[in-house]
Structure 1
Amino acid sequence: MSNYKILKRLNCIVKLVDSYPGLNKTQILERLQNDYALDVAMRTFESDKRNLELYFGIAIMYNYKTRGYNIEESEDALNQFFKFAKFASMAEIYESGIKDYKAFQKRIIPEDSSGFSGVRHFKELIYAISLLRKVSFIKENYYGDTIKRYIVSPLCLKEYSNRWYLIAVAEGETQIRNFGIDRLSKIEILNSKSLKIEDFQEQLKQYDTVVGLNYSEYPNKKVENIVIKAHYNQLKYLRSLPLHKSQECVNGINNDWGTVTFKLKPNYEFEIQILKLGNMVEVLKPQWFRDKIKKHISEMYQLYN
């Protein structure tokens, strides 16, 4: 499934059937031609359906009552597939940029070039993860201004704030670590067997209860119920770009201020996300977290006073 053209076609098929459930096969092929300029044969469509189920677990099923096709997968499964397709598209853009950088500059205005600079490492890192092989690389530490060589067991890749990170276990250690792939160089796949991701599932679950990557800085082990008041207009943005998967938004009466709740461990990344919303939100509880945000705001105010 490394062919970008095939993946883009699969993405179009999934989007079409998800948006317009109940289309029959002829209608699907016509819409692919009209909406996406894709000329797909019947045999190709059947092959694509098999590939979607085999590689991505997405089954396009025929409904005899409606005499059309629909997708029975959960919204999370579809979102994961769309995210993967988006990444593959980004990787294709990057590769085309390497071949013709002048044309690339005209078409793309990246906000953060590091988001593209790390993409070139995806192929070898995913290959190493698939083969259960250790990798070595050089990592640059921006804060300490140092460069160090690591040998790690690569477990998976994680995205946060438009950057990609390799989650791995360094040789001689037992805890998972994050490595920003835009800071890696001289990556080499080794012949030695790596540790298995199945042995680190409990550690990996720690990411589920935080925003971003830093799950160890929050000393309290329990998940907090965070409640903030949010302006009606801000609720729209929070719904379109949730800060955390536990987020729930409730509109206020008559388009007034509403509330947003989170169930998580509030680390520094979460604090920054709240501060970025400025005067469009107010932390209501718990009181200690409200006081902490208030302290940040007070210290910022003193700088300009």
Structure 2
Amino acid sequence: MTTHAHFLRQLLLVLRLQSLRRAVPFEELRNYLLEQTSLQDLAANYSQRTFQRDLPKIAERFGVTIAHDRRAGGYVITSTDPLPEGYQRLHDAFELQEFLRLPTALSPFVQWESRRPLGTEWLQPLVRSVQQRRQVSFQYHKFWDDEPSTRTVSPLLLKEFKGRWYLLAHDPVRDVLRCFGLDRIQALESTTHSFEPPANFQPEVYYAHSFGIIRPDHEPPAEIVLALKPTQGQYLKSFPLHSSQRVLVDTDEELLIQLTVYNTHDLLMELLSLGDQVQVLAPASLKMQVKQIHAAAVSGCTT
């Protein structure tokens, strides 16, 4: 079994026990693994002995202790803080990696995005380093630099945005937080140096008001008000731009929504991608910025 499949299997067990919140017999857990498409063949030989070997690995990787409750007749999580929601997205990434290994005979019936993100092989070692609070070193090649540079940082969290994965880390030399695209990382190694996160750093709320990976340090989130044409509005109702999205007006003529997010380049690019289907009503600075970009684009097409 591949290392990715090991990680996926263990993560699935934790998520399953966390969601059920009751004692689960081994056979039920095994049957659940059998139902997972990417693990179906591998789980067929999943034994009680293999499960027991998984338990200390789960404790090491996720900080989750699983034990057998004899009175309840099954396995329960005995000590942990609940895994954050981001672990479900991490599971999705590993699920996708294993899914892509399915037999080619299924390819006519299952078609996925041909653009596949690079750097997902660093997810597992980075998760381990975040969990163990071990610094990592790697070569980082910015798209606008000719040569990569060596970085040694304290990994704090992993974030996904538009199919790409990013590492938020503390740079101990400059004493600042940096964000690194996993697709630009090379030769990643975990070091023996431990670290403590910066004071007052809270991973669960750091990106709470960010659309994307940009998080300004010296400005508050803005109240963004958007007017959308009815059809496009339905898309954003079914797949909100951000967790703070709130519907202000919903009629046959338009949909007005409000977001509480930082006014960043990531947000600007998203709004521009909607073309004439969206109108920025507030703040005035963002409305003017979008107007100027559209005007420049029209001017460029007519010269």
**TM-score relative to the length of structure 2:** 0.69
Q: In structure 2, which of residues 262, 270, 285 is the aligned counterpart of residue 288 of structure 1?
A: 285
Q: In structure 1, which of residues 215, 224, 227 is the aligned counterpart of residue 225 of structure 2?
A: 227
Cα distance, 1:250 vs structure 2? 4.1
> 2:244–2:260: 8 Å Cα contact kept in structure 1?
yes
Instruction: Report matched runs for 1:225-264 at 5 Å.
Output: 225-253=223-251, 255-264=252-261
State whether structure 2 residue 128 is matched by structure 1 residue 131. no
| Alpha-carbon distance in structure 2 between the residues aligned to 1:223 and 1:86 | 29
**Partner of 1:210 in structure 2?**
210
Cα distance, 1:266 vs structure 2? 0.8
> 1:132–1:196: 8 Å Cα contact kept in structure 2?
yes
* Structure 1 residues 8 and 124, CA gap change in structure 2 (3 angstroms): closer
Cα distance, 1:261 vs structure 2? 0.6
Amino acid at match of 1:176: L
Instruction: Report matched runs for 1:156-171 at 5 Å.
Output: 156-171=157-172
SS at match of 2:270: helix
**Partner of 2:93 in structure 1?**
87
Instruction: Report matched runs for 1:105-184 at 5 Å.
Output: 109-113=112-116, 115=117, 117-184=118-185
| Alpha-carbon distance in structure 1 between the residues aligned to 2:17 and 2:206 | 35
> 1:12–1:36: 8 Å Cα contact kept in structure 2?
no
Amino acid at match of 2:277: M
> 1:232–1:251: 8 Å Cα contact kept in structure 2?
no
> 2:159–2:167: 8 Å Cα contact kept in structure 1?
yes
> 2:247–2:258: 8 Å Cα contact kept in structure 1?
yes
Deviations 1:244-274 (A, max 9, x none): 2211124533x22110111122111111111
Query: How many equivalent residue pairs?
Result: 260
> 1:152–1:168: 8 Å Cα contact kept in structure 2?
yes
* Structure 1 residues 279 and 166, CA gap change in structure 2 (3 angstroms): same
Cα distance, 1:242 vs structure 2? 2.1
Amino acid at match of 1:284: L
Unaligned runs of 5+ in 2: 65-81
Instruction: Report matched runs for 1:89-104 at 5 Å.
Output: 89-93=95-99, 96=101
Cα distance, 1:207 vs structure 2? 2.6
**Partner of 2:69 in structure 1?**
none
> 2:135–2:153: 8 Å Cα contact kept in structure 1?
yes
* Structure 1 residues 288 and 281, CA gap change in structure 2 (3 angstroms): same
Is the helix fraction higher in 1 or 2?
1
Amino acid at match of 1:4: L
State whether structure 2 residue 11 is matched by structure 1 residue 4. no
Cα distance, 1:223 vs structure 2? 2.5
SS at match of 1:158: strand
Cα distance, 1:7 vs structure 2? 4.8
Cα distance, 1:153 vs structure 2? 1.1
* Structure 1 residues 252 and 200, CA gap change in structure 2 (3 angstroms): same
Deviations 1:203-223 (A, max 9, x none): 98553222112223x86x233
Cα distance, 1:12 vs structure 2? 7.6
| Alpha-carbon distance in structure 2 between the residues aligned to 1:132 and 1:11 | 22
Amino acid at match of 2:287: R
Percent identity over the alignment is 20
**Partner of 2:274 in structure 1?**
277
**Partner of 2:262 in structure 1?**
265
SS at match of 1:191: strand
Superposed CA RMSD in Å reads 4.2
| Alpha-carbon distance in structure 2 between the residues aligned to 1:226 and 1:250 | 12
